[in-house]
Structure 1
Amino acid sequence: MTDVPRLTLLTPHRVGPEQVDALLPALERACGTGDVAAVILRLAPSDERSLIALVKRVAPVAQAGGAALVVACAGLAGDLVAVSARGGADGIHVDKPAEGQLRDLRERLRDGRILGVGGIETRHAAMDAGEAGIDYLMFGGLYPDGVAPEAEAVRERAAWWAEIFETPCIGVACGEGEIAGLRATGAEFVGLEGGLWMAEPAILARVRDAFAGAGAAP
């Protein structure tokens, strides 16, 4: 458990070449404003060469701001590990992993490469994921269809995990009103959906100042 969480930025789903031009300046601004630990880049499925080219554009911007870049791509038929590594990213994120998938990915992701997982909706599944050697577990966040778990359920799961387990977790806010509750769970990271940090850049400064004030000694 940590006193002051760091931020994780989630991009919108299905980022392709046409979205990257708008994403990059917003990402550079965000990484320069808040205490951003990681960026989860949710790519649209495409061929591996095209995806690697996109990752190569985004990775330097995130990493220059001190954030790790983690790549996700729901529905990808190719090799996400290869896309991440060849694009210069720091790891991969998988939602709703298939049985045995996380252990296989853990074997392939070596030398400090990050393996994160989300879309976990039961405590049993969360514990199974933790035993597979993941680097973080993410609760909440929008699914590709635009639906998100209930905010109360996300807070409850994040608080349960942060209290018991050593593996870090991310509690994701889809609205600004959810951030304070997630900060209070003890989760190591609070995630912000793209609709928050891209549409309203000032939110990063507000969150940074609020977290710093809440973490200050009385």
Structure 2
Amino acid sequence: MSRIEKRCRLVLILPDVGEPEEITRWVGDALRGGDVASVIIPQYGHDDSQFQKRAEKLVPVIQDAGAAALISGDSRVAGRTRADGLHIAGNNEELADAIEKHVPKLIVGGGNAQDRHKALEIGELQPDYIFFGKIDGDIKPEAHPKNVALGEWWASMVEIPCIVMGGTDPASALTIAQSGAEFAALRLAVFSEPERAGAIVQEINALLDEKAPRFDA
């Protein structure tokens, strides 16, 4: 997870809908729509076998498009599917353990930082990124103001990149970009209309190209 672009980049989070073949097609379409830094694959309520089968289809599609495939939570599935990294949404002990075991072979980041103190505790673990919000927290059109504020504070003082969870409106990515955060995470904003996923990603990138602030070189 790095500042490959000179502005905020997209992180896509897969929704808990559709059959594996459908989701794979939607993801492929979304990634053809333009720049995406990474895709987080959550387990949701699927058992380990179902989750692994889903990830086995998705990881190559994501990687072939030049994005990083991040498995949420299960290091065994990440290893078996040759994913690029792990997203840890649990407690700090779980995140610290994953960092110790899997960095630098895998990207490891996440966290559940609900305030500045918790964010700094996560930062002490030196993850590859910190995540503000919940991966299924897009329940309103706009990004949660608290998460945007935390991202703005973090990006202004800490070198570790941050991802801020957006809302159901694709334009919420611009609000996140204007905070100075390196990455904007979108789920339903892209996949609530899965047949338009590619067009939506294209539109968001065009918006960010036009209006997102640039990072210092």
TM class by shorter chain equals 0.7 to 0.9
Find the counterpart in structure 2 of residue 125 from structure 1: 118
Q: Is the Cα–Cα contact under 8 Å of residues 11 and 40 in structure 2 kept in the other structure? A: yes
- The one-letter code matched in structure 1 to 2:203 is R
Q: CA 1:118–1:103 in structure 2 vs 1: closer, same or farther (change >3 Å)?
A: closer
Equivalences, count: 205
Partner residue of 1:92 out of 83, 86, 89: 86
- The one-letter code matched in structure 2 to 1:164 is M
Q: Is the Cα–Cα contact under 8 Å of residues 163 and 182 in structure 2 kept in the other structure? A: yes
Q: Is the Cα–Cα contact under 8 Å of residues 170 and 190 in structure 2 kept in the other structure? A: no
Shift of 1:136: 0.8
Shift of 1:52: 2.5
Measure the CA separation in 2 of the matches of 1:25 and 1:185: 32
Q: CA 1:86–1:122 in structure 2 vs 1: closer, same or farther (change >3 Å)?
A: same
Q: Is the Cα–Cα contact under 8 Å of residues 190 and 201 in structure 2 kept in the other structure? A: yes
Shift of 1:214: 2.7
Matches within 5 A, 1:35-184: 35-73=35-73, 80-95=74-89, 97-143=90-136, 151-174=144-167, 175-184=169-178
Measure the CA separation in 1 of the matches of 2:179 and 2:212: 13
Q: Is the Cα–Cα contact under 8 Å of residues 10 and 40 in structure 1 kept in the other structure? A: yes
Q: Is the Cα–Cα contact under 8 Å of residues 141 and 173 in structure 1 kept in the other structure? A: no
Normalising by the residue count of structure 2, what TM-score does the alignment of the two structures yield? 0.84
Measure the CA separation in 2 of the matches of 1:102 and 1:137: 11
- The one-letter code matched in structure 1 to 2:172 is E
For residues 134-154 of structure 1, give each alpha carbon's deviation from its aligned partner in whole angstroms, at most 9, with x where no partner exists: 11111124548x757962112
Q: Which runs of 5+ in 1 are unaligned?
A: 74-79
What secondary structure sits across from 1:103 in the alignment? helix
Measure the CA separation in 2 of the matches of 1:48 and 1:22: 19
Shift of 1:47: 4.6
Normalising by the residue count of structure 1, what TM-score does the alignment of the two structures yield? 0.83
Q: Is the Cα–Cα contact under 8 Å of residues 7 and 34 in structure 1 kept in the other structure? A: no
Q: Which runs of 5+ in 2 are unaligned?
A: none
Shift of 1:87: 1.2
Q: CA 1:26–1:152 in structure 2 vs 1: closer, same or farther (change >3 Å)?
A: same
Measure the CA separation in 2 of the matches of 1:160 and 1:93: 22
Measure the CA separation in 1 of the matches of 2:111 and 2:53: 25
Find the counterpart in structure 2 of residue 25 from structure 1: 25
What secondary structure sits across from 1:24 in the alignment? helix
Measure the CA separation in 2 of the matches of 1:169 and 1:115: 12
Identical amino acids, percent of aligned pairs: 26
Find the counterpart in structure 1 of residue 209 from structure 2: 212
Q: Is the Cα–Cα contact under 8 Å of residues 95 and 111 in structure 2 kept in the other structure? A: no
